Structure formats: C-alpha cells, structure tokens
Amino acid sequence: MKLLAAFLFILAALFPHATSAATTAASAAKAPLEVVVLGSGGPRPFGRASASYIVMVDGTPRILMDAGPGAFLRIGELGLDLSSVDTILLTHLHIDHSGDLAAFFNARALSSDGPITYRIFGPDAAGLFPKTSRFVDLLVGDGGEFPYQKTFGADEKFIVKDLAINLDSPQTTILDDHGLLIEEVATHHGDCPSVAYRITYKGVTLVYSGDMDASALPNLVRLAKNADLLIFNCAVLDPPQSPEQLYELHTPPRKIGEAAHLSGVKSLLLSHTAPDVEGQEVAVRKSIRASYAGPVAFATDKLSVPVGK
Ligand SMILES: [Zn+2]
C-alpha cells in the first residue's frame, strides 16, 4: 500500500488532474468531460489492454474511442454504466483499436432497457482495410460474423459514417448535439486509413490522435489547437532506438513534444505504450520537454483524467 500511495503521490505531482478512476469517483460527476483509459497498450500482449477510452460527458459515459482487445474486461472492472453510450469514434481499423467492438456491442446491449441507435465514425476504405460502414456490417450485419447481435438484449441500429482519409481533406464537424461538438481530420498511419478526433463540451476540449506517423502532424496540430488535453500515442522511442519501419507508423517523442507546443495544448497524456517505451519514461519526458513545457502524464489502464479542471 505504501508503494501505491507513493505512486499516486508522484502521479499527482507530475500531472495534478490525473489519478486513478477509483480515487476520482467523487469528482468525476463534476467535470464536463473526463477520459477513462480502458486500454493504454497495444498491439503486443504485455499486460495492458489495447487502445480504448470512454469519454464521460457530465459524469456519464457517452463516447467510446477505439475498442482494442481488453476494453470489455476493463469496463467490467470499473463497473462502467454503458447505458448512455451512443457514439463510437474509431481512429483506424487495426485489431489493437477495434478487436473488442463486437464484445462492446454485446456488453452495451445487455445493459440496455430499450432500443439503441449507435452513431459510429471511422475512416474510409483503402488497400486491405474496409471502410468503417463495411467493417461494422461484416461484424453485425446480415451474413456477417455476429448477425444475432442486432437483437440480442436490445434492438440495435448502427448509423455509420465513413470519414475522408486523404491528408488534404478538410477538418469536419461530425456531431453537434446539445453542446457536444465532435470534429475530425485525416491522419496517416502507414498503409492503414486513419483519423483523429476533437471533442468539445462546455468550454473544454480533448483531442485523441489515434496512431499516426509524423507526416500527419500538421493536421493534428490544427485539430488540437489550444485543446485542454491531447492524448497521443507513444509507441516508439526517438530514432534510431526503435525499429526503422515503426517510424512509418508512429510519431517519436521529440516530434510529439513539438506538436504539443505548436498546437498550444494545455496538457499531454501519452498512451499506447509499447514494451520498449515502458521503461524509458525519463528519456521520453526529456525528449518532449525539449519543446513542450506543459504537464505530461503516462496513461495506465483504468486511469481517469478530468479535462480542463
Ligand atoms: Zn495501435
């Protein structure tokens, strides 16, 4: 327990708004937006769930961002009430960001009293990757993997919008619902179509990069302008410390710091941690500090971060 207390103290000192979901239960209801990390790892199995987040709006879980394997388990461990989750934002369709989507539909339907209409957003098709509407259809549509899910526990309707994936596509607003604003822009993640999201509510803003290589940073910097919280993947170390091919998929820490500085974000949460990054927090912080002076925290599964408070 002493170790845990010391850890929480250090965490609070480094990033005063971040602490465990359990310890912020009382304050959770007051933050307009709060991010609960379901999965801070991926794609390698080393004890973290893969990329997935729940966004609480006025203390109620409303938005699922990515659905990596392990999200289902973390939802249960946290006792999250899914009954108001109606919006799903998928950054890309790699397994470590989407593998638990069917399990999420299952869990959500079984916590519902009535019909569910999902608003699902994700990238358009390219190469080996289907567009998001086709992906959802392949999962739960007629002739898909789990067609029974549409009426299992609740009647479900899936409204899916495929988002533009060329880097020169304009930033768009995809949702404007009673003050909840969601915007997106195309990013770049090797050969995998990808997008990033910006969520604003009651004057606070969070941005989620998803996985992206450095070629998409100009788009991300525009999307994240003056955001209160930027969640950025940290899957590689600065070159040449990670395998060369990974830099075609991910942004190294030094460039993450530059992007955080250029966009003027107020705080940075590093997630999607890889095994070789996990033991290098000091080096990663140093790289980011070269450009960015704001608070920096490392995500762990079940971490809860109120936005802008
Ligand atoms: Zn990933």
At 101-113, the pLDDT tens digits run 999 999 999 988 8
Q: How far is the CA of 255 from the centre of ligand 1 (A)?
A: 18
Q: How far is the CA of 67 from the centre of ligand 1 (A)?
A: 11
At 122-160, the pLDDT tens digits run 999 999 999 999 999 999 999 999 999 999 989 999 999
- Work out the burial of residue 293: count CB atoms within 10 Å of its CB; fewer than 13 is exposed, 13-18 middle, 19 or more buried: exposed
Q: How far is the CA of 244 from the centre of ligand 1 (A)?
A: 17
At residue 309 the predicted structure's pLDDT band, cuts being 50, 70 and 90, is: low
Higher pLDDT, 36 or 4: 36
Q: What is the mean pLDDT of the chain?
A: 91
Q: How far is the CA of 141 from the centre of ligand 1 (A)?
A: 25
Q: How far is the CA of 287 from the centre of ligand 1 (A)?
A: 21
* Interval 242-261 mean pLDDT: 94
Q: How far is the CA of 43 from the centre of ligand 1 (A)?
A: 6
C-alpha dihedral, 186 to 187 to 189 to 195, nearest 10°: -50
Query: How many residues in the chain?
Result: 309
At 205-222, the pLDDT tens digits run 999 999 999 999 999 999
Closest to 123 in 3D by CA, of 182, 39, 210, 41: 210
- pLDDT at position 86 is 95
Decide if pLDDT at 19 tops 80.
no
* Interval 173-199 mean pLDDT: 97
Closest to 116 in 3D by CA, of 128, 108, 127, 126: 108
Collapsed DSSP state (helix, strand, coil) of residue 219: helix
* Interval 95-105 mean pLDDT: 98
Whether the CB-CB separation of 271 and 40 falls below 8 Å is answered with yes
Above pLDDT 70, what percent of the chain?
Answer: 90
